């Protein structure tokens, strides 16, 4: 977009604006992660920030943006002489979610390197972003191998490209800004920690404020240049304030009392490592400079904690981000030092003022509805929104009258209806055995099943289809060797042509679609059993999060099945739906399997490369509809006919067991595991693994003997 939307014209979003401006004042803060629902101006605000950043000096002609005052001695375009350089605006580089590794780190021309011995390197996005902004929209959807490269560059401040013995290294220090919708999945903890600050944004629920957002957006779309001109004075004033705060920053004093409060706060919230302490110190210092002060106060520490700690205190993927502000205030009060007193009244309102104050991001009053925004508005509205219950919570209970209407034991209710039972909390999650899809896939990178990927161990070679990315050197040499005499090569060396190049084929791991089909009928309604079942599914969800899978949730009870959660990358959403799942009624097992079949059919059309793993959590009883057992077997055979990998988690308990889950697994052409066997450290699982290994060895020995006899 040639004319970006003015930063000062953004309505509300005080925390978002403040977080971005603090990074403009002090890039050492480490970037911002913007979390929020779709359509909340996340990307607009980030792009608007780039127009506010002061110009920087670079070495003329350097593709890597070296600072002329201290040029990088190892710059591929160097060495450079120190000098005045030229000025240009800092770049804001956008990293697409589907970018290739070569596009991110740069690419070597392998053909020229082999045939001509020329080290021809084309810089990537990391080189373009050096001393600027690297913006990743939908950062939580970024492929794992790109995340690894970002982590390396952020940790070392440099990017390394190594291909077949040719190495290139260049500086890569950038302000990392990411936006994401939490409903689409969470970030890996390692990347989450690399963002200095995090802010939560949500659309305002006040009609007047929403009207102002629409009015300004329509005016901008009609004439971007004229709209930007109306806000030019405010933009200039804000840019001048950034420059003044940058100049004041080296003079800001961070006293021992403020440092003690920072350390005590990080310890109280049990964040990992020391990065949080350092980020809080830098953020508090930037806040003081932004307010035009030379000393850090307690209110600076408090606001720094609200920005720097929420995403670092997540102990597992199901913890909601955020801080207990009462606990924060108690900690700050307990470790308050003498230099926290403010004789002149504080100079600000501690983050609760209007947009002209520190909480409002320093945007001058514009007379619009945003002048009354509170700095925490962007965090409100998400925590207070309850999870919308599924249709089963509103369904009429099964007719009573039979013995199943009051049964709550594991085996009672198998053939009769049972009234709806309240939701049971899940048991503590545990580490599960690895479930995988057999065969070799070609899906998105992940950590579950074997697949052909761009990364992993080399398993062979092929002719390149399109651009060559991973050269198989020995295969290339073998392809070129027989043609040397025909090519007139009589002396030492090897003449390699394009037709000789071979692409390395690699095997790694892929992420799968794990579709859970959970029995919520009356036969599962015993509290001890349902709590254990939810704990097991929660454990599998945690495993799916760690292995970068998509997940979906189908439940069945009463008369029908429903999609509690369509396939998504957000295990948080699946965990929330599971926690609120009620139980009761008959067991329409066939309906659950058929609903899962429909879900998988649609997902195959959307993403044919992502292979599914069906996880059915049930005791195997089928009591809903006419001839329920035959219908369930027929539905199971539909999955088996399509080759869907299936696992049945047998929830049957008690001294007398019918083994129905095993029969269901056989019809699905899958495997059955009990709740105990699902644990990675279970004795039963270990015994079964040992027996399987022994059987494999015996089978291998038998095959060897057969071959020798033949």
User: CA 672 to CA 85: how far, in whole Å?
Assistant: 69
Separation of CA 603 from chain center: 21
Cβ neighbors of 627 (< 8 A, separation 6 or more) are none
Closest by alpha carbon to 480, among 501, 455, 505?
501
User: CA 553 to CA 453: how far, in whole Å?
Assistant: 28
Residue 554 in 3-state DSSP?
strand
Place of tokens 């953004």: 10
618 touches 519 (CB < 8 A): yes
Please state, in angstroms and as integers, the Cα–Cα distance from residue 339 to each residue in 100, 257, 286, 287, 335, following that order.
52, 7, 18, 17, 12
Question: Is 275 in the active site?
Answer: yes
Closest by alpha carbon to 548, among 451, 632, 679?
451
Determine the Cα angle at 499 with ends 498 and 502, to 5°.
90
703: left (phi over 0), alpha (psi -120 to 50) or beta: alpha
Count of other CB atoms within 10 angstroms of residue 188: 18
User: CA 594 to CA 411: how far, in whole Å?
Assistant: 25
Mode of pairing for the β-strands spanning 86-88 and 56-58: antiparallel
Task: Please identify which of the residues 210, 275, 452, 506 carries the catalytic annotation.
Answer: 275
Q: Calculate the dihedral angle through the C-alpha atoms of 563, 567, 568, 574, rounding to the nearest 10 degrees.
A: 40
Catalytic residues: 275
């Amino acid at each position: 977009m040639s004319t970006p939307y003015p930063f000062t014209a953004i309505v509300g979003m005080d925390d978002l604006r403040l977080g971005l401006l603090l990074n403009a004042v002090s890039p050492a803060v480490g970037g911002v992660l913007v979390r929020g629902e779709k359509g909340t101006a996340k990307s607009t605000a980030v792009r608007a920030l780039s127009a506010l950043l002061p110009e920087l000096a670079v070495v003329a002609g350097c593709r890597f943006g070296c600072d002329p005052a201290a040029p990088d001695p190892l710059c591929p375009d160097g060495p450079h002489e120190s000098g005045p350089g030229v000025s240009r605006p800092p770049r804001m580089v956008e990293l697409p979610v589907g970018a290739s590794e070569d596009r991110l780190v740069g690419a070597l021309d392998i053909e020229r390197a082999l045939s001509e011995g020329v080290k021809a390197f084309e810089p990537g996005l990391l080189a373009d972003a050096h001393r600027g902004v690297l913006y990743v929209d939908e950062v939580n959807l970024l492929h794992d191998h790109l995340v690894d490269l970002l982590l390396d560059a952020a940790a070392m401040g440099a990017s390394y490209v190594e291909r077949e013995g040719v190495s290139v290294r260049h500086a890569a220090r950038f302000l990392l800004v990411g936006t994401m919708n939490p409903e689409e999945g969470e970030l890996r903890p390692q990347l989450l920690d690399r963002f200095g600050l995090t802010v939560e944004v949500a659309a305002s629920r006040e009609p007047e404020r929403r009207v102002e957002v629409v009015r300004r957006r329509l005016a901008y779309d009609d004439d971007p240049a004229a709209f930007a001109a109306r806000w030019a004075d405010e933009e200039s004033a804000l840019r001048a304030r950034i420059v003044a705060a940058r100049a004041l920053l080296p003079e800001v004093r961070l006293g021992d009392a403020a440092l003690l409060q920072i350390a005590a706060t990080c310890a109280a919230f049990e964040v990992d490592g020391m990065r949080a302490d350092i980020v809080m110190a830098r953020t508090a210092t930037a806040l003081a400079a932004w307010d035009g002060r030379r000393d850090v106060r307690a209110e600076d520490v408090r606001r720094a904690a609200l920005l720097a700690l929420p995403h670092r205190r997540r102990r597992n993927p199901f913890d909601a981000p955020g801080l207990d502000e009462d606990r924060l205030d108690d900690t700050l009060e307990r470790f308050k030092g003498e230099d926290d007193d403010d004789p002149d009244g504080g100079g600000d309102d501690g983050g609760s003022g209007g947009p002209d104050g520190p909480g409002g991001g320093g945007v001058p009053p514009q007379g619009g509805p945003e002048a009354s925004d509170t700095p925490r508005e962007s965090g409100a509205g998400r925590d207070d929104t309850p999870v919308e219950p599924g249709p089963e919570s509103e369904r009429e209970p099964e007719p009573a009258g039979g013995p199943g209407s009051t049964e709550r034991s594991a085996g009672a209710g198998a053939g009769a209806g049972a009234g709806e039972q309240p939701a049971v909390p899940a048991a503590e999650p545990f580490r599960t055995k690895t479930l995988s899809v057999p065969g070799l896939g070609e899906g998105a990178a992940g950590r579950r099943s074997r697949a052909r990927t761009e990364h992993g161990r080399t398993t062979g070679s092929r002719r390149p289809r399109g651009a060559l990315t991973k050269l198989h050197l020995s295969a290339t040499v073998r392809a070129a060797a027989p043609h040397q005499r025909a090519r007139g090569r009589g002396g030492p060396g090897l003449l390699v042509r394009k037709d000789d190049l071979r692409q390395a084929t690699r095997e790694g791991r892929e992420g799968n679609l794990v579709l859970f089909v959970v029995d919520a009928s009356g036969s599962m309604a015993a509290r001890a059993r349902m709590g254990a079942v939810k704990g097991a599914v929660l454990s599998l969800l945690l495993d799916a999060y760690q292995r970068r899978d998509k997940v979906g949730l189908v439940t069945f009870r009463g008369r029908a099945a429903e999609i509690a959660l369509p396939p998504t990358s957000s295990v948080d959403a699946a965990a929330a739906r599971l926690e609120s799942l009620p139980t009761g009624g008959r067991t329409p097992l066939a309906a659950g399997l058929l609903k899962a079949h429909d879900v998988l059919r649609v997902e195959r059309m959307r993403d044919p490369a992502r292979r599914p793993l069906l996880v059915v959590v049930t005791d195997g009883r089928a009591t809903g509809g006419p001839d329920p057992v035959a219908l369930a077997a027929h539905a199971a055979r539909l999955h088996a006919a399509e080759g869907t990998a299936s696992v049945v988690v047998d929830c049957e308990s008690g001294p007398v067991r019918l083994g129905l889950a095993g029969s269901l697994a056989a019809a699905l052409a899958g495997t059955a595991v009990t709740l105990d066997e699902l644990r990675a450290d279970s004795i039963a699982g270990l015994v079964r693994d040992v027996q399987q290994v022994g059987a494999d060895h015996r089978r291998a020995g038998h095959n060897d003997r057969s071959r020798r006899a033949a």
